[in-house]
Structure 1
Amino acid sequence: MNIILIPGFWLTGGSWAPVTQALEAAGHTVHPLTLPGKGPGEDQAGVGLRTHIEAVIALVDSIDGDVAVVGHSGGGAVAYGVVDARPDRVARVVYVDSGPLADGGVINDELEVSGATLPLPVRSGFGEPELVDMTEEVWKRLEAIAVPEPAGVATEKQQLSDERRYDVPAVVITSTMPEPLLRQFMEGGHPYVAELARARAVRIVELPTGHWPQLTKPAELAAAVVDAVTD
């Protein structure tokens, strides 16, 4: 299986390194992405959510055979945009502590903006569930690999048009929210999970840790992804 790994905010393709190695060892062809505006010296002006979606679509179009897209955090919105654009090419979508963003929604328009960029917030800017297993050593590693996120990715509205996206099987690897609570939100019609509730096949896998399992529990995350893309 071709597996496209989409990083969340402030992260590049290199953040997936331990997971990438494990997926390759399991026999998959892995594509860890550094999205536009997040490479060294790249201009972030004009880079938005759609820019990132189109970059992943271009990769999907260049690949022969089945593709699974994996999105972490804000990368889940990117993954879902790709599912909507290529529902006939994506065999599976995997959300890592994330989920699908509905049409007209934005990822997060409350983050502090500096020019055209969003710098990584200080540690105290995150909630306690997000910081589980985030030791000082792991946090320093996150700070070391973090790059500013283009502000437009957080604030540009999602654009969806093809309801065949609901036919693409979805797996949610949830780290900061227990499955029963997530199911409760889905059954109760909570807008945060409205798109997830409409998917025809959803599997939820708990991986209890903080919001960055690729840093805090990479081996467990890799095993969960392998399981998620295996029929």
Structure 2
Amino acid sequence: MDHAPIVLVPGFWLGAWAWDEVAAALRADGHDVTALTLPGLEDPAADRSRTGLEDHVAAVRDAVVAAGRPVVLVLHSGAAGAGYAATDRVPERVAAVVYVDSAPPSGALDPGCAAVEVPLPPAEELAADENLDGLSQEQLAEFRRRAVPEPGGVLREAPVLRDDARRDVPTTVVCTGNSAEEVRGWLAQGHAWLGGLAELRDVTYVDLPTSHWPMWSRPRELADLLGGVARRAGAAS
């Protein structure tokens, strides 16, 4: 097999199901794919009161290690903090990281969050905050039907980083809701939600104009992009 395994981690409010179309396309192309549901996101009735960022870090790390060889770690949206910390725990097990409309934060996403859990915002607020280009009403309705509140601890806790080897992991930033030029501008302005990019030594930016949830609005194109990263990572190992 000449390509690295792929681990798909969804963003806030989502489970492994969010990747179904992309995962199916990748598997049809011969890729080894694992999609995760992070702790607390399994069921709306789950107890999220004690779920924190380190629980998500451990879940991502365990999936990476379970692959048995270095993986391409794909992190969508709010999963970036846990995923970046997981690369810090086992950098030798990560052949490449892909941030999908996300970036590694340099601190907590919302240090002032006091809530036990954070539900998916109302439709009007979601539309105001995120790019919904290319998403059908049916997709948005399914998202709302299946969305699970995000544990508050994941937002208020900052990643703990110790191993500088994470800085050398080849990284691709897929810019969907905003352009690569805009992302670079925010990085230069010092925004904390993507501040970790400043310390990485091998970063490539790719524009894929579409919604914040490209696994639904442009699944085939995203699968092709991820498959290419996996092939290059496999060839380099």
Global fold match (TM > 0.5): yes
Shift of 1:33: 0.5
Question: How far apart are the structure 2 equivalents of 1:176 and 1:13?
Answer: 21
> CA deviation digits over 1:128-167, x for unaligned, max 9?
6522223322211211221111111111121111111110
* Identical pairs, percent: 37
Give the alignment of 1:55-70 within 5 angstroms: 55-70=59-74
2:22 maps to 1:13: no
* 1:29 counterpart = 2:36: no
Question: Separation in 2 of the partners of 1:128 and 1:73?
Answer: 13
Aligned partner of 1:97 in structure 2 is 101
More moved, 183-192 vs 77-86:
183-192
1:71 maps to 2:75: yes
Q: 1:15 touches 1:145 (CA, 8 Å); kept in 2? A: no
CA–CA separation in structure 2 for the residues paired with 1:11 and 1:60: 19
Residue equivalent to 1:118: 118
Q: Structure 1's 219 and 177: CA in aligned 2 closer, same or farther, altered over 3 A?
A: same
Cα deviation, residue 77, structure 1: 1.3
Cα 1:54/1:133, change in 2 over 3 Å: same
- 1:128–1:187: structure 2 CA closer, same or farther, 3 Å change rule? closer
Deviation at 1:63, TM superposition (A): 2.4
2:113, 2:156 within 8 Å by CA — same for their partners in 1?
Answer: no
Letter in 2 for 1:98: S
Query: Could you state the TM-score of these two structures normalised by the residue count of structure 1?
Result: 0.91
Gaps of 5+ in 2: 233-237
Aligned mates of 2:152, 2:187 — CA distance in 1: 29
Matched residue type, 1:80: Y
Which of 42, 52, 56 aligns to 1:52? It is 56
Aligned length: 227
Separation in structure 2 between the aligned mates of residue 3 and residue 157 of structure 1, nearest angstrom: 25
The alpha carbon displacement at 1:214 in A equals 1.0
Q: Secondary structure at the match of 1:130?
A: coil
Greater Cα offset, 45-54 or 178-187 = 178-187
Partner of 2:170: 169
Partner of 1:130: 131
Conserved in 1, the CA contact under 8 Å of 2:172 and 2:205?
A: yes
Looking at structure 2, the residues matched to 189 and 109 of structure 1 have their Cα atoms a distance apart, in angstroms, of 17
- What amino acid is the match of 2:50? G
User: For 1:204, what is the secondary structure of its paired residue?
Assistant: strand
Separation of aligned partners in 2, 1:153 and 1:188: 24
Task: Tell me the amino acid that sits aligned with residue 197 of structure 1.
Answer: A
